[in-house]
Amino acid sequence: MASKPYPLEIRDLEPHEAEKMKVFSGEKTGFVRIGPKGYVLAHRFLEIAADIYNMDIRPSDVFVVTYARSGTTWTQELVWLVANDLDYDTAKSVYLTERFPFLEFSMMVHPEMIQRYLENSKGDEKKQKEIKMMTSHIVKQLALAPSPRFIKTHLPLSLLPPNLLDAKVVYVARDPKDVVVSYFHLCSSMTFMGWTGDFKQFWNLFISDLQYWSPFFEHLKEAWAKRHHPNLLFIFYEELQKDLPGVIKRISAFMGKNYSDEEVATLCEHLDVKNFKTNPSINNEQFKELGLTTPDLQFVRKGKSGGWRDYFDEEMIARTDKWIEENMRNTDLRFPSAQ
């Protein structure tokens, strides 16, 4: 499918890094670093890297791009509804994972894990079909999909097609201290990731740029550098919390839509975390049914900022603050307070 060879360097992790990443027991083939920034991805990404880089971008495409656990799901639902004339009936009846497929998801689920899920659902043809569809190559499915296509990805801009900004891109950033807490809970629940460590181990890998899609700050800086491009809208998770109506209006204008204050208020109510947490179409209920997550998964958790204080000790706070300061020294990127 790929028309050109993959132009970015691919290298294995250093042996000491690879050893640390074994705590992700679901990834059986290990991890690689991609490109000059050294983004960390599962080895299976090599099967799809060139197809993603060379995929045909349509001007009608809409991408939501984030580092994991930065408000992705919230933004996807918001963007989809704004673009689709507030069609709540479809939004409630069709899984968000179907309305807004996850571009690189097939790299996340190792063939050994797929086999395990298929064996566990033996005799249930519907479940077997869903597992195969969900873990297959999304780019091939997208090539056949009608426009407009809505696409979620955690890949940084440099690993996406060079002409990505022919399409609309909404990029969401979040304070890394809250990201790492939310990310830890997610990885602990996703059986295909198989996280076996504690929070401090997870945090240590995160600030060492040893997590899926890391380095965190390089990811953000790439998008921040493009924030004035007319086809990229850069927003912060903290803005979604502090002024959801204002962000809805910004996204609406970006998408060429205009909604009344009353319509915006109704959308805010739909997106309110108390309703969002109980909405089965966005909460990955499908993943639970197929065994891809633990039964207690809360895909949408608290939807607040500052929760990291319950997890960090003094040493972790000091080291994280130093890491943030070092990485933001040469940029005007700043995280707004949600308070």
Which residue in 253, 252, 248, 285 sits closest to 269, CA to CA? Answer: 248
Q: Position 230: which residue type?
A: P
Q: Tell me phi and psi for residue 301, to 5 degrees.
A: -95, -105
Cα separation, 31 vs 211, in Å, equals: 10
pLDDT for position 4 = 79
Strands 39-42 and 31-34: antiparallel
Q: What is the pLDDT of residues 46-105, one digit of tens each?
A: 999 999 999 999 999 999 999 999 999 999 999 999 999 999 999 999 989 899 999 999
Q: Specify the 3-state DSSP secondary structure of 307.
A: helix
pLDDT for position 22 = 96
pLDDT for position 297 = 58
Q: What is the pLDDT of residues 205-259, one digit of tens each?
A: 999 999 999 999 999 999 999 999 999 999 999 999 999 999 999 999 999 999 9
Which residue in 95, 83, 74 sits closest to 268, CA to CA? Answer: 74
Q: Cα 147 to chain center, whole Å?
A: 22
Helix (H) or strand (E) holding 64: strand 62-66
- Tell me what the pLDDT averaged over the chain comes to: 92
User: In terms of C-beta density within 10 A (0-12 exposed, 13-18 middle, 19 or more buried), how is residue 31 classed?
Assistant: buried
pLDDT for position 1 = 46
* CATH 3.40.50.300 assigned to 56-328: yes
Taking 80 as the threshold, does the pLDDT of residue 287 lie above it? no
- The answer to whether residues 203 and 211 touch, using CB atoms and an 8 Å cutoff, is no
pTM: 0.94
User: What average pLDDT score do residues 266-280 get?
Assistant: 86
pLDDT for position 339 = 45
Q: What is the pLDDT of residues 91-120, one digit of tens each?
A: 999 989 899 999 999 999 999 999 988 988
Strands 39-42 and 62-66: unpaired
Taking 90 as the threshold, does the pLDDT of residue 295 lie above it? no
Cα separation, 151 vs 337, in Å, equals: 28
Which residue in 289, 283, 292, 284 sits closest to 109, CA to CA? Answer: 292
Cα separation, 118 vs 180, in Å, equals: 31
To the nearest whole percent, how much of the chain has pLDDT over 90? 76
Q: Cα 31 to chain center, whole Å?
A: 18
Residue 74 tokens read as 């919230």
Cα separation, 50 vs 33, in Å, equals: 15
Angle between helices 261-271 and 72-83 in degrees, nearest 10 = 150
- The answer to whether residues 322 and 207 touch, using CB atoms and an 8 Å cutoff, is no
Taking 90 as the threshold, does the pLDDT of residue 296 lie above it? no
Residue 85 tokens read as 């004339």
Element counts in the chain: helices (H) and strands (E): 17, 7
User: What average pLDDT score do residues 126-131 get?
Assistant: 86
Q: Which of 167-181, 225-239, 284-298 has the lowest mean pLDDT?
A: 284-298
Q: Position 146: which residue type?
A: P
Rounded to 5°, angle at Cα 24 from 19 and 30:
60
Q: Which of 157-161, 198-202, 300-304, 309-313 has the lowest mean pLDDT?
A: 300-304
Taking 80 as the threshold, does the pLDDT of residue 293 lie above it? no
User: In terms of C-beta density within 10 A (0-12 exposed, 13-18 middle, 19 or more buried), how is residue 84 classed?
Assistant: middle
Strands 31-34 and 10-12: antiparallel
Helix (H) or strand (E) holding 138: helix 138-144
The domains of the chain are located at 56-328
User: What average pLDDT score do residues 17-33 get?
Assistant: 96
Q: pLDDT class for 176, splitting at 50, 70, 90?
A: very high
Q: pLDDT class for 300, splitting at 50, 70, 90?
A: low
End-to-end CA distance of the chain: 48
To the nearest whole percent, how much of the chain has pLDDT over 70? 94
Q: pLDDT class for 303, splitting at 50, 70, 90?
A: low
Taking 90 as the threshold, does the pLDDT of residue 281 lie above it? no
**Residue 213: Cβ within 10 Å count:** 19
pLDDT for position 301 = 53
**Region label for 30, one of left (φ > 0), alpha (ψ between -120 and 50) or beta (otherwise):** left
